[in-house]
Structure 1
Amino acid sequence: MQKLAVNAATLVATARARITEIETQEAIALLGDPDVVIVDIRDPRERERTGFIPGSVHAPRGMVEFWVDPESPYFKPVFGQAGKRFVFHCASGWRSALTVATLQDMGFEAAHLREGFSAWVAAGGPVEGV
């Protein structure tokens, strides 16, 4: 097997060093704020199996860049709302860190839930769909 120039853990660490990370308790406190949009990038099967944050928007990881780009035929208006604070999450914070770093490169401001949905559940954050 070919050795990678950069491993996944390094990519995540590099992303985390340059993006905004939100701790679990802060994210729970943001729930219900009309100026905050929580975006779940997990696979649909993960959401079905473990539930989701109430009111969260689902944007599968493979489509996020296209859904936030107003010039893309896949653009979703939820991402064009002015004055909103977007907080992305996955299960453990790795995928969302990479996602937010990419979105930041595109010029889309966002943050991510540092330890992901699993920490949300462990901290007693509300969950729907289970």
Structure 2
Amino acid sequence: MQPRPVHAAHAGTYAGDVSPQLAWQWLQSGEAVLVDVRSDAEREWVGFVPGAVAVAWKQWPGMVLNPRFDGAIQQAGAGGRKLVLLCRSGVRSIAAAKRATELGLEAYNILEGFEGDPDEHAHRGFKGGWRHHGLPWRQN
């Protein structure tokens, strides 16, 4: 399967959207850094991508904004490194990419997120997402 290209529809708010496959390609080539913006609980209970930088956008419990997000995302993007942001479904990572862009970073949203959209039974992991595409991940 050929990776989908970067979509520039969000010019001005964040760098764009990339497919999970293209994000993985960029990671392998050293072209980008993967930032997992899910909560610590999600990474611990659902799974994580080895080598990803963990910078929660919102934290459990209560899903309140992470007060340390700005400093941590700036550190992840230090030196002008391109960032690809991952959340559960590709929604929180858009908000995080917008904030990273406001901070002067080149930030992309990974489409479909880690788990993808819910299927007809409201289960995730079967309709798109990082895991569904067979990309590297682990579970504790």
TM (norm. structure 2) is: 0.67
Q: Secondary structure at the match of 1:49?
A: helix
Residues 1-130 of structure 1 correspond to what in structure 2 (within 5 A)? Answer: 17-18=10-11, 19=14, 20-61=16-57, 62=66, 63-69=68-74, 76=75, 78-80=76-78, 82-118=79-115, 119-130=129-140
Note closer, same or farther for the CA distance 1:106–1:83 as it changes in structure 2 (3 Å cut): closer
Give the number of aligned pairs.
Answer: 107
Are the counterparts in 2 of residues 28 and 120 from structure 1 also a CA contact under 8 Å? no
Distance 2:93 2:53 in 1: 14
Separation of aligned partners in 1, 2:69 and 2:28: 23
- The structural deviation recorded for 1:129 is 3.2
Larger radius of gyration: 1
Q: CA deviation at 1:55?
A: 1.0
Q: Does the Cα contact within 8 Å between 2:85 and 2:110 map onto a contact in 1?
A: yes
The alpha-carbon distance between structure 1 residues 38 and 105, as it changes in their structure 2 partners (threshold 3 A), is same
Letter in 2 for 1:121: R
Structure 2 gap ranges (5+): 1-8, 58-65, 116-128
Higher relative contact order (CA 8 A, sep 6+): 1
Give 1:64's aligned amino acid: F
TM-score (norm 1): 0.72
Tell me which moved more, 42-51 or 17-26.
17-26
CA distance in 2, matches of 1:114, 1:30: 14
Percent identity of paired positions between Structure 1 and Structure 2: 29
CA positional deviation for 1:83: 4.3
Q: Which amino acid aligns with 1:99?
A: A
Cα RMSD after superposing both structures = 1.9
